[in-house]
Amino acid sequence: MSVDVSDESSITAEWLESILHLYYSTNGRDLLDGPKDDDVDNDDVSIRKDEPVQTISVKQFQVRPGCEEGENLLSDLLAIDVKLCRDDSTPEEELHLMAKLLSQDPFCRHFILEAGFDVREIHFYTTLMPALTQFCGGHGGQESWPVPSCFYAKYRQGSDSVLVLDNMKASGFHVTEFHLGLSLDEATSAAQSIARIHASVLAYRLRLGVDLGQAFPFLFRPEAAAESYQQLLERGLPQLATFLHTADRPELHAVLAKLHKMRPRARETIANLLRPASPIATLTHTDFWCNNLLFRRKTSEGATADGTDTDSVECSILDWQMATYSRPTNDLALLLVTSVAGEIRRTKTGHILDAYWNQFCQTAASLGLDVEAQLNYGRRELETEYEQSLLLAVLLGIGSVDLAIGHQATEERLCEVLIDLSNEKVF
């Protein structure tokens, strides 16, 4: 396709018809418009000559901002509502899409291009997820994933990119506001959703003997990731220091002294904690916090004894721009450090880890992998690695500390978690 999309004005009916024609003609199997990996066999995604080519006719479309100001920091989002017909004989359909474009903010744009965030997410949807879906389908695995469906992607290295996904908000999903924090059932649902992906990729890696770093070279490398996170840490630590200096709490001054003492070795620490040293090393999201999660509550009968009702909450995971081959507990630690209230973190971490582990083992078993028997790895080992990952969560959280400063609820949560983890000797 010759048309490049960089802003709202370049989205036209003709462009929508062309990307949807490609999507429907290949049954959603040829999503990347542009350079393909030389090692990927694309024969199975061509349009078969014995199949009729569908005609896509866009009858009406509307483009509007895809998020509230400040909700998404690394992309410009456009919601696209489309009414279309596939062939003249079919009834009119509605599609609700979300186009992710490269941010026009100069700092964000430079940061994204330098770290390859946009290209990484595009390859997550167009390379990794199709391979994982094929593997799971051949082993009786899951039919759907807790991520949005992808309709189209295009990038030019070092220039503009576009990724078109299903707009989950149009299906009743919503973002939980950061200052509110996740409820217990939302946090548990998020943990179970990421467990499905963690376990599926682990089974894919072990059963097929795949080196994830070689098979998917776009995944964030620990050293490169540490460099990017170090930049964010250097920007966030002075803001945190200013905030903590104004707090009339001596224990926070002690926390700040400890963080400054860690600063010289922060990059090495981040890289070490990101390396795939765990027996269950797998694909990790590495930016797993509430602003990258969508939730939808379903009607359900009754609740569990502890007041949660996780079967009634669905979670969809967004923004895979920092996807890494690493230890899965990094995602859990970042979620619990950044996105839940202190009381839930203190009293329900074990419950959330249990729910994660049960889902992880169940998913792995469905794909022919007995984690505990074959890897000699159990719930105790998970908790040990989770405790190690807490330090990474602190360091990554400092890089985005500006999101917590300025709202009383998030400031209090920030102070609580820093004091708690300092007292627990995490840092």
171 or 306: which carries more pLDDT confidence? 171
Q: Is the pLDDT of residue 156 over 90?
A: no
104 vs 89, 141, 153, 313, CA distance in Å? 41, 40, 18, 34
Inter-axis angle of helices 329-338 and 379-398, to 10 degrees?
A: 50
pLDDT at position 350: 98
Whats the size of the chain, residue-wise? Answer: 427
Asked if the model's pLDDT at residue 39 lies above 60, the reply is no
Q: Using one digit for the tens of pLDDT, what is the confidence trace for 200-237?
A: 999 999 999 999 999 999 999 999 999 999 999 999 99
Is the pLDDT higher at 309 or at 50? 309
**Per-residue buried b or exposed e for 76-112, using 16+ beta carbons within 10 Å of the residue's own CB:** bbbbbebebbbeeeeeeeebebbbbbbbeeeebbebb
Stronger pLDDT, 325 or 86, i.e. the higher one: 325
pTM score of the predicted model: 0.91
> pLDDT band at residue 70, thresholds of 50, 70 and 90?
low
Indicate if the pLDDT at residue 20 is higher than 50. yes
CB 281 within 8 Å of CB 325 = yes
The pLDDT of 383-408, averaged and rounded, is 96
Cβ neighbours around 136 below 10 Å, total: 21
Model pLDDT for residues 271-320, shown as the tens digit of each residue: 999 999 999 999 999 999 999 999 999 865 544 444 455 568 999 999 99
Residue 383 C-alpha from the chain's centroid: 22
CA distance 400 to 392: 13
Mean pLDDT of the chain: 89
Mean pLDDT, residues 62-77 taken together: 79
* Span(s) in the chain for CATH 3.90.1200: 173-423
Query: CATH assignment of 173-423?
Result: 3.90.1200
Out of 99-113, 235-249, 403-417, least confident range: 99-113
* DSSP H or E stretch at residue 166: strand 161-166
Which span out of 154-158, 310-314, 356-360 was modeled with the highest average pLDDT? 356-360
Higher pLDDT, 154 or 103: 154
Residues ≥6 apart with Cβ < 8 Å to 133? 145
Q: Which residues of 303-332 are buried (b: 16+ CB within 10 A; e: fewer)?
A: eeeeebbbebbbbbbbbbbbbbbbbbbbbb
Listed range (88-92, 167-171, 386-390) with the worst mean pLDDT: 88-92
